[in-house]
Structure 1
Amino acid sequence: MVFWEGYVSDELTGTLAPIVVYWLYAGMYQLLPPLDQYRLHTRKEEEQKNLVPLSSVIKGVLLQQLVQATVAGLMFLVTAKPSIAGSLIQPPVHVQLIQILVAMFIMDTWQYFIHRYMHQNKFLYRHVHSQHHRLVVPYAIGALYNHPLEGLLLDTFGGAISFLISGMTARTSVFFFCFAVIKTVDDHCGLWLPGNIFHVIFQNNTAYHDIHHQLQGTKYNYSQPFFSIWDRILGTYMPFSLVTRQEGGYEARILKKTS
C-alpha cells in the first residue's frame, strides 16, 4: 500500500512524481541562504563563469521534463500489465530492491558511454553537450539543463531502458526515478553540506561531478548518477581532494593522475 493508491495510478505517478520531486528538491537548495562556508565555488565565480541566466535554465529543464513525461507515459501505456481486481500484485520487497540495483547499474552504464561519446565527438559536444557545460559552476536547478537531444538520449532513454531491462513495475519505478532525480540534483547542488548522506554512501557525489564541470576535468569523471565504476575501469577517473579555501568554503582540487 502506498499513499497515492486509490487516488492516482502507478503509471501517472511514475510519470509526474519525478518532475514534482525535482522542483521540490532543487527548489529547497535554491531557497537556502548563501551558505558560503559550504560552497564549492564562490558566488562571484558563479556569476562570472556561468554563461546562461537562470530563466533560460528553468525553460530548458521544463522542456526536457515535457519530453520526459511524454516518453514515460507512452512507455507505461505499452508495458502496462493486466491487474487483478484493479490492482497489480507487486513482487516482494527484496525483488524490488534487486530490480532497483540492476536499474542503477544499467542507467550508469548507458549514461557513461553516451556522455563520454558526447565529449569525444566534436560535433556533438559543440552543438549538443556544451549546453550543459555552460553551467561551469553547477547549481541544483540546473541539474537537467541540457540540449533537448541530450535530454532525450541521455536521461529519458536511459531511464526507459533501465525500467524495461530491470523488469520493475510502474510502482517500483516511482521510487527508482524519484531517487535518481534527487541524486542528480544533489550532484549539481554545488554545496558540500555536513551530514549529506549521498556524500557518505556514494563516491560519485557533488565534488566528483564538480571536477567534470571544470576545464581541466572535462575529459574525466563521466560517470553519473550513482557509481564511479566505469570511470575506474576505463581510466577516466580523476582523483581529487577536498580542501578548504582561504576565503571560505571548499574546493574540489584535482590530484595528479598516476598510471
Structure 2
Amino acid sequence: MSNLALVTGATSGIGLAFAERLAADNHDLIIVGRNQDRLDEFVAAHPKVKVRAVAADLSTPEGIDTVAAYCADEPLEILINNAGVAHYMPLADLPADKAREVVNVKVLAPTLLTRAAVGGMQQRGKGTIISIAGMIAFSGPAGPAVMPRRAVYAGSLAHLVAISQTLSAELEGTGVTAHVVCPGIVATAFHSSQGLDVSAVPRMSADDVVTATLRGLELGEVVIAPGVEDRGLLDTVFEADLAAFGGQSPELATRYRSN
C-alpha cells in the first residue's frame, strides 16, 4: 500500500509543519508551493524520504490542473489541502482579482484536487483527505463590531466545512475519510503577509495544529478544532444545523404570510 502524501502550501506555516511531520513518519511526499527555492530547500533537507517538488500557483486554472493530475495519477494515501490566501477587506473594496484568488485557492482548488484524488482512494480502499479551514468559518452570525471585514474569506472557509462534512457521509464504508481543520490564529507569516499585525494576540503553533489534526483523525472527528476545549460547542452547532434543515416544510412559514 502506498505511503504517499500530497501537501499544498507546503513551504511555510501549517503546510510546512505537516510536510515535516509526515517526512519524520517516513511518508513519501509531493509538496506543492509557489516558491521553487523553498521547495528545493525542503527536498535537500529530507534525503531519507522521496520528495517530489511541484511548483504551482493554485490561484490559476493551470496550477490547479497541474496538481489535480498528480492527485488523479498518483496512489495518494493522504491529501492535505492547505494552500491559503486571506485578503481581509470589505467585499465592496476587494478587487476582483483578489476575490478570484481567494475563491480559487480556498474553494476551487480543494474541490478539484479532492475530486481528482477521491476516486483512486476509493478503488484502493484507503485514503485521508484533510482540508485546512479556520474558526472564521463559524463567524458568519457575528455583528458589525467584529473586525476585520472578511466576507469572501469567511465564506470560503465555510465551504470547506460543509463540503468536508457532506463528503464524509458520502464516503462512509469506503475506507476513505474526509476531515476539515479549523484552527484559530496560528503563529505563521499568514497574517503579516496581509498587512495585519497580530503580534500581541496569543497564537497557536503550526506544530500544535498538526498534532491536533493527527489526534482528531484517531478520534474520528470530521471537524477538528484544535483550540476549542469544549467539543460540545461544535456538537451544538451541528445539531442546530440539522434541526433547521429538518424543520423545513413545503408550507409557507407563518411569519412570511400576509396579515
TM over 0.5: no
User: Comparing both structures, which one devotes a greater share of its residues to helix?
Assistant: 1
TM-score (norm 2): 0.28
TM-score (norm 1): 0.28
Where relative contact order (Cα < 8 A, 6+ residues apart) is larger, the structure is 1
